[in-house]
Amino acid sequence: MKILVINTGSSSIKYELFDVDNHKILAGGMAEKIGEESGILTHKRILPNGESSEEVEEGLISDHHEGLNRIVALLVDPVNGVIADKGEISAIGHRVVHGGEAFHSTVIIDDEVIAAVKENISLAPLHNPPNLTGIEVAGSIFPDAQQVAVFDTAFHQTIPMRAFLYAIPYEMYARHKVRRYGFHGTSHAYVSEQAAEYFGRPLGELNLITIHLGNGASMAAIQAGKCVDTTMGMTPLAGLVMGTRSGDVDPALPFFLADNLGMTPKDIDNILNKESGLKGMCGTNDMREVIEKKDEGDEQAEIALEVYSYRIKKYIGAYFAVLESLDGLVFTAGIGENAPYIRELSCKGLNRLGIEIDPERNNRAGNGIREINPPGSEVKVLVIPTNEELKIARETKRVIESKIKARIFT
């Protein structure tokens, strides 16, 4: 079964084509700056020997329909394509950011699903509309393929009310669904499943803390295989310090900025989401550059790293208290997988909780799952590469096969 996974942004389409039966990635890439004069389409195909070949096209990509058509043209190109025709693609797996309370798992897209995603636009105004555009465009280009939605929020729908309810008038939740939702759910789900495989135990027997550290960052407390708390909230702004997002701040801060600095709601939103975090503290949101600046003696960079890791450490302690016992701590995503200094700083002094890091193991480069705690440690500290696109492809295959089985036995 060949499944095309797409993640549609307001001016981009990120994609990967999987042959899921043979556990292969066939091609992937991104169309960027859609609707702008300087559009870019980067396409990478995986060769039979495992190496890759990359092509870059520049020029106007007028809209998402043209962007996806050009992606399809590259996939079926007679000389360099990876499939004979688009009919080989059985399904399209769509990343949809916000499913609200309507979706607890992956679903096959129909009119009711589309209507529910539209109802949640107010919760994700920057993400759900382009996700819907991707569904519409893919449906027109692949009329015979199953369209499937995988929601960022679904994994966190097991969080109990005591963890997701804000202490504001209850009517805000009852009428307007104001609550903690959480994001990066596909990544947290994937690495927790990988951790269970590494442990050689069912996920339902494990207590884990998963730490997704990219430009966006979040953590999840997983008890007996189910998410019971997460750092992001109603929006992705809450929780950890991120590349450009502030994470947790005093809720009265926006009022202070408005009253004392004359900022508008739009100004405040821009500062907290796009000009804060690492960028706001030391001038760059690239963790590699922040660490380089720290190594060169930049005091602001050093402070930024301390604030960043302190917030992670604080949530580790909080989630340990929530879980009461811990089997594994998992670092993932770009920073989590590639910044040993951040892992070391975030776990420093937690040995009383059974959490320790072996410096040699931590600094050793490697691929796949790595254990970075000393031998015999009470809690395993793991580095697990995330793969959200693969998780979406697997989820897409699962729901389609479940639907087929349901038809057979009814």
DSSP class of residue 197 equals H
- Tokens representing residue 386 in the block: 């995330």
| 3-state class (DSSP) for residue 80 | coil
Q: According to the 3-state scheme, what is the secondary structure of 339-399?
A: CHHHHHHHHCCCHHHCCCCCHHHHHCCCCCCEECCCCCCCCEEEECCCCHHHHHHHHHHHH
Select, from the ranges 6-10, 116-120, 264-268, 364-368, the one with the highest average predicted confidence (pLDDT): 264-268
Pairing of strands 208-213, 217-223: antiparallel
Of 292 and 84, the structure prediction assigns the larger pLDDT to 292
Residue keyed to tokens 């909780």: 353
Catalytic residues: 152
Element (H, E) at 337: helix 333-338
Angle at 188 between CA 67 and CA 372, to 5 degrees: 120
CA distance 302 to 345: 12
Residue pLDDT, tens place only, 30-47 = 998 888 888 899 999 888
Give this prediction's pTM.
0.91
Q: Pick from 287, 282, 165: which is nearest to 217 by CA? A: 287
Cβ contacts of 190 within 8 Å, gap of 6 or more: 386, 387, 388, 390, 391
- The yes or no reply on domain 2-151 and CATH 3.60.20.10 is no
Residue pLDDT, tens place only, 320-346 = 999 999 999 999 999 999 999 999 999
The whole-number pLDDT of residue 405 equals 62
CA distance 20 to 159: 30
Q: How confident is the model at residue 67 (pLDDT cuts 50, 70, 90)?
A: confident
Cβ contacts of 126 within 8 Å, gap of 6 or more: 10
The whole-number pLDDT of residue 409 equals 54
**What is the arithmetic mean of pLDDT over 95-99?**
88
Buried b (16+ CB within 10 A) or exposed e, 290-311: bbebbeeebeebbebbeebbeb
Write down the CATH number for the domain with range 200-388: 3.30.420.40
Rounded to 10 deg, the angle between the 128-141 and 64-75 helix axes is 50
Residue keyed to tokens 């917030």: 311
Predicted confidence (pLDDT) at residue 91 exceeds the cutoff of 90: yes
CA distance 156 to 184: 9
Q: How confident is the model at residue 407 (pLDDT cuts 50, 70, 90)?
A: low
Residue keyed to tokens 């038809």: 407
Residue pLDDT, tens place only, 241-277 = 999 999 999 999 999 999 999 999 999 999 999 999 9
Counted residue by residue, the chain has a size of 410
Of 207 and 62, the structure prediction assigns the larger pLDDT to 207
Considering the chain, what is the average pLDDT of its residues?
92
**What is the arithmetic mean of pLDDT over 355-368?**
93
CA distance 173 to 406: 35
Q: Which of 6-10, 185-189, 381-385, 396-400 has the lowest mean pLDDT?
A: 6-10
Give the residue extent of every domain in the chain. Answer: 2-151, 200-388
In terms of Cβ atoms closer than 10 Å to its own Cβ (0-12, 13-18, 19+), residue 352 is exposed
